Every structure is written in C-alpha cells, then in structure tokens.
Chain A
Amino acid sequence: MFDSAPIIVGLEIGTSKICAVVGEIGAGGSLNLIGIGQARSRGVRKGEIAEPVLVEEDVRNAIAEAEQMANVEIRSVYLGVTGDHIRGFSNHGTHPVVSADREITEDDVQDAIKNAKAINLPLENSIIHAIRQHFQVDTQTGIINPVGMYGAKVEVDVHVVHGKGNRLKNSIAVVKGLQLEVEEVVFNGLASSLALLSNEQKELGSLVIDIGGGTTDYAVYADGIVKHTGVLAVGGDHVSNDLAYGLKVPLGRAEQLKLEHASAVLQPEIKGRTVDLPGQLGLPSKTINLEHLHRITSLRLEEIFELIEREISNLGWLERLRAGVFICGGGARIPQIQILAENVFQLPAYLGKTNSISGLKSALDQPEFATGIGLVRFGSLQQKRKSRGGLMQALTDVFKR
C-alpha cells in the first residue's frame, strides 16, 4: 500500500445501517468510488447514538469491509451526523470597510462572516457548518466573492447548521475510539444533496429529501447555494412501527411487509386485496389487508412531506424550487413515493440519482448510499479547496504526482 492516490472516506452512522464509502481522487482530479462497507446498525435511535459500544462494533465492521473491498487502509473519515437537535437557519452579517481606500480585503470578508456567525445559540450548541451565501457590497447584491471590490460596507448571508455539542461529540468519540481521525463533521442532508444535485439543479432550485431509518434530512438549494436545511426525526422506522401497531404484527414482520408490499400512494384497485403471511417460528399465519397497509404507509409519508412543505413554504423557498424535489435514502425505495411527493409539493419529484462520481455502478444506483457518497464528495471538494489554498501545498501536490 502506497499513498499514491489520496483516498477519501465518508462514514455515515445511520439508524438502520452504518456505511463507509471509499473514494479515490484519480489522476485527472476525478472522483472514483472504490469501496463500500456496511453493517446493520444496532445502537442508534433517531439518528443519534444511544449505545456507543454496539455502534463502535458496527462501525468497525463497516470500516473493515470497506478497507477490504477497496484494498486500502482507512485512517480518517468525513463523518455524517444527523438528529433532531440539528437545526439550520440563515443569518445576516455586516461589516464596515475600514481601510482608507475602501478596498475590500479577505479580512473584511472574514469579519463579515464572523458577525453573521455570532448568533444567539444556546450555550451547549455548536456550529457544524457556516455556509456563506451571497455577499452584498453597499447596495450591490448577489456577489460571490467581494475581495478586491470597493465599498463602504460588506454584508453577507450565512446559512448556519448547528446542533447540540455533546451529541455531536458522541459520534466523534465513537470514531476516535477506533483510532480513526475525523476530518470533518458533515450534516447528512447536505452530504446527500451534494451527491444528487448537479450545478444546474442547484442553480434552478431543488429540494433534497433523504428519508432514512430514524430521521428525514432535507436541504434546499436555490441560486446555486444552500438556502435551508433541516432534520425531522421521523423516518422509515416510523412507518414500520405504525404498521406493527395498525396491523397488529411484530415489528420484524412489519419491517418485512414494508419492504415487500408498501406503497406511498393509495390506489383504488388495491381495495379488498390481501397478503398472506405464512406462519413461522411460532408466529401464526395471518392475512393482512393490503389497503390498510398502504393507507398507514401513505399517511405517514404524506405527513413527513407535509411537515417539510409547511416549513419550506413558510420560509418562502417553495416557489424557488424550479428543478423540483429529489428523494433519496432508504425511504426512496417505497414504490410511488415520487408521486406522493408531487402531490404534496405540487412540483416535479424524482428519485435522486448520484452523479458526479464514477465507479461501482451497483452502489451508485442505490438511494441508501447517497449520504455516504455525498460525504466522499464533500471530502473531495474540501481537499481541492485545501490544495488550492497555498502555494506550498500546491507544490507538494505536484511533487507527489
């Protein structure tokens, strides 16, 4: 093993599965997926770590599998986080340009961003991302980078994603406990959107909804930048739980019914149809009314979409989503979920396809891996930025090649 090509690993500790995705930056700077490892998750509830010992074991398995598949040694990961405690909101910061000639310097920009970040967060919360959006110089709006411009005042909008510091530390501690470095902590919703959206879609305005096991993460892009992010601690597990309760079957069977027979939309021809569950292992055989199954599933998923719709439309972003809604995560496997989303949002809805990354076709098509792949993509962007950052860094990179 030589460190010839830098590898980037995304680790998602999800409620239903833990997955590690390994990407490699190729000679031309292109990103190539070379390995995936996954393990069933046992110690996570609603996206947050509940039993660290189990989680540590599961993460170890997933990482080992990924290492084996990619034939690399994993030393550091980009860690995806989610959970109900994570919130996203936009804030505005201003900074007067003080230099005599009124030229805006990098320092001014940083100060403006610092002002925008200085928000009234609860003491125990820490910032996960502070994504700068458009700058405004005096009255001129929509500026991507104001350094070198002239003006009296720089203003900036920053989208801040923050969460409870201690809960974030829990995830980090598990990874550190396995002698792995955490390069950066990334919000899952953002990672998924990175994996799914092309630049045009970001420009046109899109909503990415990642329906996971325990949480549903979402991110809104418009004008090429992140406008809003959020988490709803309701996911596929809730569908199974509702089914278990409504159909009076054990949770395991409810899970199986969801995977095999669920539908997001109630269709008229389903009326009166039933599914027979064979008796096994002491469980009696049972006949399930398919209409009930679909109704329970559909109501739950509809509610998830409605809650997101309400939040986004209150913020005024719904009209800006011209590219539509993109759905990923395990929930995207439920048939006809895009039709349900179209009905709720009144926008075109698609199942998200990961693009802008190559390799391992089988993994790329699966909606569950969107977050993992997005994490790798996030990592590659970060590394590109870093390597662009300094001359010395660039030089060392050249020599490495």
Chain B
Amino acid sequence: MTTPLEKPDGASVEKTDDAAVKKNISIKVFGVGGAGCNAAGFIAQTPFENVDIMLLNTDAQALAASPVPQKWVLGQKRNRGLGTGGDPEQGRAAAEDDAARLAAFCAGADIVFIMTGLGGGTGTGAAPVMARVARESGALVLAMATLPFSFEGARRLRQAEVGLQSLKSSADAVICLPNQKLLKLLDEKTSVVETFKISNTLMADGLRGIWRLLMQTGLINVDFADLCSVTRGRHVASSFATAEAGGEKRSEQVVEKLLAHPLLDGGHVLNESDAVLVSLAGGPDLTMSEVNKIMEPLQRHCENAHLILGAAIDEAYTGRIAVTLIASSRQSAVAEPVPAGPAAEAATEPPMQFLDPATTPRPPSRLVAPPPELSSEKKEQLYHRQTGQTRKKLSRMQRELPLEIVFKGRFEKSEPTIRHGEDLDLPTYIRKGVALN
C-alpha cells in the first residue's frame, strides 16, 4: 500500500499544474485472466483517449481469440500457455515469472487499471502480482474485480475472497462487482452470453466513470486521493454505479436511475455505506440547482456517510448528466491485513500470504526472558491456574456473530418501507436488538 501522502499528492500536484498536463496522463488498462480479458476487450471496442489496453492471460488459446492487438501469455514456460486449471497459486507463479516483463509493460504509465475476474486461477493469482509490479514501477493502481456468482461454488468464492484481500493490499484502490447482484438485472430469458455482456458493460461504465473523474477538470475537483480515501482499507467490496440521463428532467431521472441500480440494491447500499464518492459530469449548461437536486436525495439516502462530491464540465455532455457513484462501507473494526506503512516496505512484502503461509516470514518476536526455575509441584499449580483462567476468559469473550438474515415474510415481494435509513419491514424487536430469551 502506498503512503497516503506520497503518491496521491504527487498526482494532485501534477494535476494542478495545468489542464493540459492533466490531459496527458497516460493510462493503461490491463485485463488479467479470462474474465478480465473479456471485459478489457469489451472496453477496447469503444476506445477512449489516452488509454492503452493490454490483455494478460495464461491461456494462449483464449488470448488468441481476442481482437485486441496488445496481449501477452503469462508463464509460457511454466504451463505452456494452457491455463492454470483454476489454481491461483499457478496464476501467481506465472505472473511472478514474468514480473520483469510486466514491469516493462507498466513503464511510463501514470495510472494502471487492472480488470479481472476473481475466483479462477489467473485473475485471482496474477492480478495482485500485476498490481504490485505496477505499483513498483510508479503508477497509481486501481483494480476492478468481479466476484463469482454464488452458483459457481463455495471454493471459487473463497478463492475470490482471498484474491480480493491480496489485491486490496497491493493495489491503491479496488472496486468490486459481485456478479451475484447482476441476477436482479436479468429476466428468465437472458442468455448466459448476455449476462456476461452486462457484467462487462457495468465494468466498462465504471471504468469510464472513474476515467472521467480523474481526467476531466472539475468545477468541484475530485482526484485520485479522494477516490483512494473512499476505496482504501475497506473490508467490504466497494460498490459502484453509473447513470446517465438527458432532457429537461435529467437531474431527477439520473437520481432515479441511480437508486434503481441493481448494484446499489435500491439505495440499500447507500444506507449502509460510510463513504460515498459522487462524480457528476455535465455540459456547460449544468446548473448548480441541478447539482443540488441530485445531491439532496443521495444525501438523504446516506445520512451517516462521508460524502465526496465532484462535478466536471465536458462539452460532450451538453444536455446530459452522467453520475458515477462509488460507495463503500467499513463492516467491522478488524485490523487491516496489510498496515498502511511506507511504500517501500509494503511493496517488498509478499502479497500472497493468504495462499502460501509458508513463504511468509514470521515477524521477529520480542525477547522473552527464560522462565524461572520452579519446583514441579509449583509448576503444576501454576499451569492449572493459568489454564483455568484462560478458559474462563475465553468463555467470557463474546465473538461477533454474523448478521442474521431476516426473512421478511409477506413483505418479501413488496416495496421496502424505508424511513431514516431503516427498513421498517424487518421486525422492530430485531432492529432494536431486543432479545427474546
């Protein structure tokens, strides 16, 4: 993890120099793994300026099928371009083999986007390595990752979780798209191809929104540091949503679309999040009252959240408004897996400690004085007292229970009644935490 002081600040200094300088930031998009390549390939179909797209995969065959010109087969020596068979360890090793090559790809990039699908072998294993390498070469790293559908099985989900953690510790910011949430978008007839297309479109929209946020001069400027402050160090996946609307009622419509966005769970996510970044883009005709009209309902939805607003003017958006929203919540006060230390230290730390605990060096322990000589009787006595105490302590310590999933009964299908950020359809006694013995 970078020092929050060094890199983002450096970037913002660059940005404040001149609008022209800001436009010249070079962005590289890497699609890592099958899903990542598909998403990046999808983005390549609608190019945007100053963006290079490159695909990385261990599966040469899949890579050959993509029309994107820049691609690289990871770990050619190791598995001869045949993929990883869903093993993140292989993906990681393949990427480590090619680390020097990857660093060369990243050379000269100011911002690196990594698009990947977590849960498989290449994406889960190689993306964190890619992120680390890109960071070492001096770029700001932003990862967008999809999480698997729950029908893909518990193992893939678990792998994805682990991958997400290590991605979080090696990238500057991670934005997550849990595919499971897509199911709400689909109807009975949606084909599998379309489903993944929707996933890709969402990723592309998110990328475009972030690109806009970073590249375009704002009335109310938002820079990478703001983005990091929202996405960094959060334990839950950040959610994002983009919406666009035009016409007379555009500000109302855009809010409506945002709140109806499946990734925001009809505004539920906003209620629960504690940091929200909103980036508006509009033409020169964007009025302050419109900004207000958009922000007011959003603010109402996330009363407790730290809200960051950015607004940018772009000629291309004349008569329209586009809003990108990134929300994240801190679920619990569990310590970060990787402490936000100096950049150098974080970079040298092996990112895959979850997958391979053996390679993780143990931190040097404090010097502990040798125990004093005791008679065996005394030892026994002490031992018993100690074990008794610890057992007592253990039983007293209360562990945090997972949030109870409450069945809403007959209100499952109706519109939720939400007041002051509370879903009133859930039984009151549960929300108030009243225990029935």
Contact = CB atoms under 8 A, between A and B. Distances in A.
A29 to B, nearest CB: 42
A143 interface: no
Interface residues of A, number: 26
Contact of B436 (A45, A233, A244, A246): A246
Given A244-B409, A246-B436, A234 B417 contact: yes
A241 interface: yes
B427 A300 contact: yes
A46 B410 contact: no
B410 A251 contact: yes
A242 interface: yes
A46 B417 contact: yes
Nearest to B293: A120
A357 interface: no
B427 A246 contact: yes
B151 interface: no
A300 B430 CA distance: 10
10 contacts: A46-B414, A232-B417, A233-B415, A234-B425, A241-B408, A241-B411, A242-B428, A246-B427, A296-B427, A300-B427
B429 A295 contact: yes
A245 B406 CA distance: 9
A200 interface: no
A360 interface: no
A245 B407 contact: yes
Contacts of B424: 232-234, 238, 303
B362 interface: no
A84 B427 contact: no
Given A251-B409, A296-B429, 8 more contacts: A84-B415, A122-B252, A241-B409, A242-B428, A242-B429, A295-B429, A296-B436, A307-B419
A302 B406 CA distance: 21
A45 B414 contact: yes
Contacts of B409: 241, 244-245, 251
A300 B252 contact: no
What 9 A-B pairs have minimum CB-CB distances, sorted nearest first?
A242-B427, A233-B417, A241-B409, A299-B428, A45-B414, A300-B428, A303-B428, A292-B436, A299-B429
A27 interface: no
Contact of A45 (B413, B419, B427): B413
A300 B413 CA distance: 20
Interface in A34-57: 45-46, 50
Contacts of B411: 45-46, 237-238, 241
A123 interface: yes
Interface string A358-392: 00000000000000000000000000000000000
Contacts of A300: 427-429
B384 interface: no
B417 A295 contact: no
A247 B413 CA distance: 22
Interface string B421-434: 00011011110101
Interface in B382-435: 406-411, 413-415, 417, 419, 424-425, 427-430, 432, 434
Interface string A219-238: 00000000000001110011
B77 interface: no
A299 B434 contact: yes
Contacts of A292: 436
Contacts of A84: 415, 417
B297 to A, nearest CB: 10
A296 B432 CA distance: 11
Nearest to A243: B427
Contacts of A302: 428
B189 interface: no
Given A84-B415, A122-B252, A237 B410 contact: yes
Nearest to B407: A245
A123 B249 contact: yes
A50 B417 contact: no
B194 to A, nearest CB: 29
A67 to B, nearest CB: 32
A245 B419 contact: no
Interface in B217-241: none
Contacts of B427: 241-242, 245-246, 296, 300
A45 B414 CA distance: 7
A251 B408 CA distance: 12
Interface in B189-205: none
Contacts of B417: 46, 84, 232-234
